[in-house]
């Protein structure tokens, strides 16, 4: 039951996230549906390729496709003024919820297949961020994972918690607690603009051209 709940949460959250981004970019109805589905299932496809699961298993999940379709249809039929006023504010919330749910789901997949801790972490990250990266690329945006805000790091934290058995994979309340922690950390990083330190290319006023000419 816990497994299916995580999958359903991630499916709906990422479908809504993809649909909202598509509508912000003024895609047509078909484009909104495509971007919603890509956001929802892109990470799972990449994960299956990485850990050796059949890619075709994605297409057998008709219930999840129906859930993503219904969630997207609801966004499409909502009044335009509601979409413009409310939904853009919820992109980060839906994205954080999808990240949390799919990250843990990906980690559980890899852990059940007895992979190493490193592989569990990578599987968690790929599942959590893969769909969002594809969504942003198709929408012509800089992928969220490449921005200053902490994003993929929280997916890695969740993967490490599962891979190192810091949470019991058979304990629903521990898994829900982990989902809540990852969600809260992601939202806090958005609200307070937490970011991973970066190495600046130039510390002076020199231009990029000058830097490349050195």
What is the rounded CA–CA span in Å between residue 166 and residue 144?
28
Residues 190-206 have a mean pLDDT of 73
What is the rounded CA–CA span in Å between residue 84 and residue 77?
13
pLDDT in tens, 36-50: 999 999 999 999 999
pTM, two decimals, is 0.85
Going from the C-alpha of 53 to that of each of 45, 107, 151, the distances in angstroms are 9, 13, 25
What is the rounded CA–CA span in Å between residue 17 and residue 10?
10
Question: What residue spans define the domains of the chain?
Answer: 2-196
For the ranges 80-89, 137-146, 196-205, the lowest mean pLDDT is seen at: 196-205
* Ramachandran angles phi, psi of 100, nearest 5°: -65, -50
pLDDT in tens, 148-184: 678 899 999 999 999 999 999 999 999 999 999 999 9
pLDDT in tens, 76-113: 998 878 877 777 778 888 889 999 999 999 999 999 99
Q: What pLDDT, on a 0 to 100 scale, did the predictor assign at position 57? A: 80
What is the rounded CA–CA span in Å between residue 75 and residue 40?
15
């Amino acid at each position: 039951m816990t497994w299916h709940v995580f999958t359903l949460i991630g499916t709906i959250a990422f479908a809504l996230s993809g649909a909202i981004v598509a509508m912000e970019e003024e895609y047509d109805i078909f484009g909104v549906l495509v971007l919603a589905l890509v956001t929802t299932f892109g990470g799972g496809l990449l994960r299956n390729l990485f850990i050796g699961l059949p890619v075709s298993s994605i297409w057998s999940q008709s219930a999840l496709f129906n859930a993503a379709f219904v969630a997207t249809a609801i966004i499409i039929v909502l009044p335009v003024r509601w979409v413009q006023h409310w939904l853009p504010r919820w992109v980060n919330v839906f994205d954080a919820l999808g990240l949390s749910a799919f990250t843990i789901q990906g980690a559980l997949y890899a852990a059940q297949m007895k992979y190493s801790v490193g592989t569990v972490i990578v599987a968690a990250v790929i599942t959590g961020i893969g769909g969002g990266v594809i969504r942003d690329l198709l929408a012509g945006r800089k992928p969220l994972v490449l921005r200053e805000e902490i994003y993929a790091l929280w997916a890695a934290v969740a993967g490490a918690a599962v891979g190192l058995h810091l949470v019991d994979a058979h304990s629903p309340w521990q898994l829900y607690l982990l989902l809540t922690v990852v969600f809260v950390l992601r939202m806090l990083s958005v609200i307070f603009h937490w970011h991973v330190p970066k190495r600046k290319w130039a510390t002076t006023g020199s231009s990029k051209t000058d830097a490349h000419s050195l």
